[in-house]
């Protein structure tokens, strides 16, 4: 049995969940989100609790059951609390700043890198080297953070690059001097 799929989703005050066919809409204090869940999974909302049901115990239905529950739960958390990812920039001369909806990065290339911030996300920079990406959609926050990190992933010799704030970079020893 799917432990994740069977867990009920408690809906805080001010959050409404509605389903029409495969589409699920969640409205809360921070805004509204919508997503489509697999057609085999049914959503039931009763007095502040949402439950998802699957038609059978086939392996594919069990997998989709947990997936659908996680998607709906992430939308509920997104419209109430939101999601955030924090990145750190390490390296001499590496820095970031935000002007409007454009994130400007100086990462040791011969040119500055400008990235457009997607709609629905808020990016803030602290001390030129700490980035905070916030938004309601967990997938969008994570994808934009991964895109920023992929511009200059941390390298193992000096540790220069962009990393998540909780990421540990394993350092390698450089080559031994020839004697």
Q: Are residues 51 and 76 in the same domain?
A: yes
- Rg of the chain on CA atoms, in Å: 21
Q: Are residues 31 and 57 in the same domain?
A: yes
Q: Are residues 75 and 89 in the same domain?
A: no
Is position 171 within any domain? no
Per the structure, the complete domain to which residue 100 belongs is given by 83-164
- Which pLDDT tens digit goes with each residue over 63-115? 899 899 999 999 999 999 999 999 999 999 999 999 999 999 999 999 999 99
**Could you give phi then psi for residue 102, rounded to 5 degrees?**
-125, 130
Arithmetic mean of pLDDT over the chain: 91
Domain count within the chain: 2
Which of 80, 103, 130 is the last residue in one of the domains?
A: 80
- Written as six digits, the tokens of 99 are 């002007």
**Reported pTM:** 0.88
Which residues on neighbouring strands pair with residue 132, listed in sequence order? 86, 124
Give me the helices (H) in 20-153, please.
59-80, 138-151
Structural contact between residues 50 and 72, judged by C-beta atoms closer than 8 angstroms: yes
Which of 36, 65, 80 is the last residue in one of the domains?
A: 80
What CATH number is associated with residue 42?
Answer: 3.90.930.12
Classified as helix, coil or strand, 4 is helix
- Written as six digits, the tokens of 155 are 């390298």
């Amino acid at each position: 049995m799917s432990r994740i799929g069977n867990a009920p989703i408690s809906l805080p005050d001010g959050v409404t969940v509605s389903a029409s066919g495969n589409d699920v809409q969640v409205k809360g204090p921070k805004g509204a989100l919508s997503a489509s869940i697999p057609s085999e999974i049914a959503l039931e909302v009763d007095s502040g609790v949402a439950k998802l049901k699957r038609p059978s115990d086939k392996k594919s239905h069990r997998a989709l059951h947990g997936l659908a529950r996680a998607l709906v739960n992430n939308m509920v958390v997104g419209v109430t609390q939101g999601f955030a990812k924090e990145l750190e920039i390490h390296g001499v001369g590496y820095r970031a700043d935000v002007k409007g909806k454009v994130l400007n990065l100086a990462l040791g290339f011969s040119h500055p890198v400008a990235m457009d911030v997607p709609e629905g996300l808020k990016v803030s920079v602290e001390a030129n080297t700490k980035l905070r990406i916030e938004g309601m959609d967990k997938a969008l926050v994570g994808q934009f953070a991964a895109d920023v990190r992929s511009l200059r992933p941390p390298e193992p010799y000096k540790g220069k690059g962009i990393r998540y704030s909780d990421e540990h970079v394993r350092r390698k020893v450089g080559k031994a001097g020839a004697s």
